[in-house]
Each structure stands twice: as structure tokens, then as C-alpha cells.
């Protein structure tokens, strides 16, 4: 049975940092594509970052490039998202995801996702 369990969300001031983690079980961790998506109130769920199962390849949404870093800890089967210089517009429920397909142009969507975690809330105050 597949489980994706996020942690690390919270309330932070603008300019601050948070690190999200996703504990993955029921999957061959090092052989699957994993990523982070987010959903703000009244908006659709959107792609944040994806880590390929090969070659250390990663993708980022333009809005988080240079501020967020996705990483894997294969020994702990954990996916991380280091978020720096947070902005109010980063406020959202953040979801860990196991992808079943890649987006050819790197423009990932929820259609690429096979499994979801339950989400962890990130709130950035001014």
C-alpha cells in the first residue's frame, strides 16, 4: 500500500524559510518520479517541483526557481523541499506526489500524478 506523508509546514514571516519532508512507503523510492504541488484557496492545484528517478534531474515552476530546492534521501525514502525567501503568494496547502508520467516540456500538471499525500499547510505572513 502506497503512503506519502508530508510534514514541516507552518507559519513563517515573509523572507523566512521552511523545509517540507515527505516520507514515502510502499514504492521503490529510488525508481520513481516524485514531486511537490500546492493549492491556494480558490485556485487550482499547481506544480511546484519534480525530481526525476534518474540522473538527479529536477524541474521547478518559474515562480520558485532560485528559492526552492527539491532533494531526495534514498536511505530514508524521504523527499524534501527546502523553501527559502518565502513570499505571501507561496501560502498554500503543499502536497507530495508520486508521478506516473513526465511532462515533455516540464510543465507538469495533476494529470501526471498517480498518488497524493494528505498535504501540509504553509502560511507566509507579511
* pLDDT confidence of residue 70: 98
Kindly tell me the burial class for residue 43, based on how many C-beta atoms sit within 10 Å of its own C-beta (0-12, 13-18, 19 or more): exposed
At residue 88, φ and ψ (nearest 5 deg) are -55, -35
* pLDDT confidence of residue 104: 80
Q: What DSSP state is assigned to residue 55? A: T
Residue 105 confidence (pLDDT) above 90: no
* pLDDT confidence of residue 18: 98
pLDDT in tens, 50-100: 999 988 899 999 999 999 999 999 999 999 999 999 999 999 999 999 999
Rg (CA), the chain: 13
Identify the CA nearest to 2 among candidates 95, 97, 75, 70.
97
Residue 7 confidence (pLDDT) above 90: yes
* pLDDT confidence of residue 106: 86
Residue 106 or residue 62, greater confidence: 62
How far lies 67's CA from each of 18, 30, 82, in Å? 11, 25, 8
Query: Mean pLDDT score of the chain, rounded to an integer?
Result: 96
3-state secondary structure 82-126: EECCCCHHHCEEEEEEEECCCCCCCCCCHHHEEEECCCEEEEEEC
pLDDT in tens, 8-30: 999 999 999 999 999 999 999 99
* pLDDT confidence of residue 82: 98
* pLDDT confidence of residue 12: 98
How far lies 120's CA from each of 18, 31, 43, 88, 95, in Å? 12, 24, 16, 16, 7
Amino acid at each position: 500500500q502506497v503512503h506519502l506523508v508530508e510534514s514541516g509546514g507552518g507559519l513563517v514571516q515573509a523572507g523566512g524559510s521552511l523545509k517540507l519532508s515527505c516520507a514515502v512507503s510502499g514504492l521503490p523510492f529510488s525508481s520513481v518520479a516524485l514531486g511537490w504541488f500546492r493549492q491556494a484557496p480558490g485556485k487550482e492545484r499547481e506544480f511546484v517541483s519534480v525530481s526525476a528517478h534518474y540522473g538527479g534531474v529536477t524541474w521547478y515552476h518559474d515562480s520558485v526557481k532560485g528559492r526552492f530546492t527539491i532533494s531526495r534521501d534514498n536511505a530514508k525514502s524521504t523527499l524534501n523541499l527546502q523553501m527559502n525567501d518565502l513570499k505571501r503568494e507561496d501560502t498554500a496547502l503543499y502536497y507530495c506526489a508520486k508521478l506516473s508520467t513526465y511532462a515533455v516540456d516540464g510543465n507538469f500538471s495533476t494529470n501526471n500524478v498517480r498518488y497524493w499525500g494528505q498535504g501540509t499547510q504553509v502560511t507566509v505572513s507579511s
